[in-house]
């Protein structure tokens, strides 16, 4: 995808083949853009979401059991110090993985703007390596080797997967299509996650699930290689010799000043936050997504712990609960994107009502859906905190499912505020906020659940965070909408 070399003050120099330079010389700027996009349809990327979800789901539960086999004498009944070691090892590895994932986002953002295929391939390979390392750790019976797989999971988290996919969807011809693709992708991802209990239930031996994950990742790599074309960024006209000279000059500068290199690394890691520096008002949207992801990064872990401790849910019951939630969420996304707009257009056509522009309609729809979903989540979390019978959990969980698509709605809304060349950067800043929330969430909510014990205090606290997310989103949407109307 093309990108201005001066965007947000960073240099992005593309290495072009001679044929690429010739094409750029013969085509005017607009025709160059068309030539790059020709033969590529972002819809081809949609199957990657459920495929990746299935691969991750096949090792999600079995990996925890694998850790238990390496720490506990009886993996089904860890006791005393074994539980403390188990929790400490997993928490430490997960926190380290999340921090690494956050620091790698800046580099991933630059890569995705230059090459749509390479970013996705890098994610799939890193995630596949987590299964490989886990398999090796189990084979050599080393908990340290097995837990190091979490590092690769951090470098290829689900947030980074969605960022890579959304960076491709952002190249759609219109914001309406990009918005729909982002939401559909999340729905397909949830469908893949919803079958995870069924997938993991097929295997008595957890090593089989690791091999299945590797097979699915190989299929994903082949699919990306076949259906996703290489897209290298093209900036202003340049020559190979000038690029070589520029690279040599940069290399020389790095040798002279090591401190400058550290500064560059730090700036690159924080580079996704540049849009907030350029447009401070948009920080409200980012903080809203941050508050949401603090909840979402741990709420289902908290739910499964809560149902197991307080209501005695078995693994089968918890699996059915997760399947129900993600299935309802996927249905909700499809309904809100396809059925409701179709009904609305039907009544508009019958009444002769002239709708506003499609871009404005899409922006308003995504903002309204995000607010509506957050409101439902606040109510469901409150109800979950007050529930005192097992039969109340499933109806409440159905309502909780309405909160899962919130990131897709917020990202789709945020995307409409940027021009085509700036969309990957916009997605990167939201991915950074999500990742930071993913680091904070387990620490904050995990401590709260330890403090409140079997009571539902952690869910009431999460409802408060969801309320702050709704307030921030409403303030940001109001300010942005007011300024947009003033400009018009």
* pLDDT, position 218: 93
pLDDT tens, residue by residue, 200-225? 666 656 778 788 888 999 999 999 98
With tokens 């097995």, the residue in question is: 146
**C-alpha span between 141 and 139 (Å, rounded):** 5
Choose the most confident range, by mean pLDDT, from 35-39, 203-207, 362-366, 458-462: 458-462
Same fold, 1-18+36-238 and 279-345+356-488: yes
CATH number, domain 279-345+356-488 = 1.20.1250.20
Confidence of residue 476 (pLDDT cuts 50, 70, 90): very high
pLDDT score of 423 more than 70: yes
Q: Is the dihedral of CA 207, 208, 213, 219 positive or negative?
A: positive
* pLDDT, position 129: 92
Choose the most confident range, by mean pLDDT, from 209-223, 297-311, 368-382: 368-382
1.20.1250.20, 3.40.50.10490, 3.30.9.30, 1.10.3720.10: CATH of 1-18+36-238? 1.20.1250.20
More confident residue, 239 or 455: 455
- Smallest CA-to-CA distance from 86 within 1, 126, 143, 166 is with 143
pLDDT score of 174 more than 50: yes
pLDDT tens, residue by residue, 438-466? 888 888 887 888 788 778 888 999 999 99
Q: What global pTM score does this model have?
A: 0.68
Domain residue ranges of the chain, discontinuous segments joined by +:
1-18+36-238, 279-345+356-488
* pLDDT, position 347: 64
- Smallest CA-to-CA distance from 129 within 145, 109, 140 is with 145
Among 25-34, 140-149, 366-375, 390-399, the minimum mean pLDDT is found in: 25-34
Instruction: Tell me the Cα Rg of the chain.
Output: 23
* pLDDT, position 377: 95
More confident residue, 251 or 462: 462
């Amino acid at each position: 995808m093309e990108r201005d070399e001066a965007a947000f003050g960073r240099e992005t120099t593309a290495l072009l083949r001679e044929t690429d330079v010739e094409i750029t010389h013969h085509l005017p700027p607009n025709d160059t853009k068309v030539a790059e996009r020709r033969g590529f349809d972002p819809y081809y990327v949609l199957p990657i979401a459920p495929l990746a979800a299935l691969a991750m789901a096949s090792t999600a539960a079995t990996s925890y059991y694998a850790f238990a086999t390496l720490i506990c004498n009886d993996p089904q009944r860890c006791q005393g110090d074994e539980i403390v070691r188990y929790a400490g090892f997993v928490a430490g590895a997960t926190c380290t993985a999340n921090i690494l994932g956050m620091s790698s986002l800046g580099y991933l953002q630059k890569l995705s703007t230059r090459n749509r295929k390479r970013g996705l391939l890098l994610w799939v390979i890193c995630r596949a390596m987590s299964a490989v390392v886990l398999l090796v750790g189990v084979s050599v019976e080393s908990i340290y080797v097995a837990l190091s797989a979490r590092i690769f999971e951090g470098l290829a988290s689900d947030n980074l997967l969605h960022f890579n996919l959304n960076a491709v969807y952002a190249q759609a011809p219109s914001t309406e299509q990009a918005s729909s693709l982002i939401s559909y992708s999340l729905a397909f991802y949830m469908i893949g996650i919803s079958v995870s209990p069924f997938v993991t239930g097929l295997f008595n031996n957890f090593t089989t699930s690791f091999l299945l994950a590797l097979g699915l990742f190989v299929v994903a790599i082949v699919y990306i290689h076949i259906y996703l074309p290489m897209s290298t960024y093209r900036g202003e006209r340049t020559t190979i010799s000038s690029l070589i000279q520029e690279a040599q000059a940069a290399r020389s500068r790095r040798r002279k000043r090591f401190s400058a290199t550290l500064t560059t690394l730090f700036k690159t890691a924080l580079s996704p936050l540049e849009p907030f520096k350029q447009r401070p008002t948009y920080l409200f949207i980012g903080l809203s997504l941050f508050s949401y992801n603090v909840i979402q990064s741990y709420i289902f872990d908290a739910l499964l712990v809560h149902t197991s401790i307080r209501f005695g849910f078995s693994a089968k019951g918890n699996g059915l609960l997760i399947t129900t939630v993600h299935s309802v969420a996927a249905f909700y996304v499809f309904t809100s994107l396809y059925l409701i707009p179709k009904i609305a257009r039907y009544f508009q056509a019958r009444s002769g009502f002239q709708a506003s522009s499609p871009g404005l309609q899409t922006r308003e729809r995504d903002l309204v859906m995000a607010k509506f979903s957050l409101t439902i989540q606040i109510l469901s979390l409150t109800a979950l905190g007050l529930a005192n019978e097992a039969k109340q959990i499933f109806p409440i969980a159905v309502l909780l499912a309405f909160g899962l698509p919130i990131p897709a709605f917020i990202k789709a809304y945020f995307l409409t505020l940027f021009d085509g060349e700036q969309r990957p950067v916009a997605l990167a800043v939201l991915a950074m906020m999500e990742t930071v929330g993913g680091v904070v969430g387990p620490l904050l909510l995990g401590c709260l659940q330890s403090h409140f014990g079997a009571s539902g205090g952690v869910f009431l606290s999460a409802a408060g965070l969801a309320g702050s997310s709704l307030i921030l989103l409403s303030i940001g949407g109001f300010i942005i909408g007011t300024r947009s109307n003033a400009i018009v």
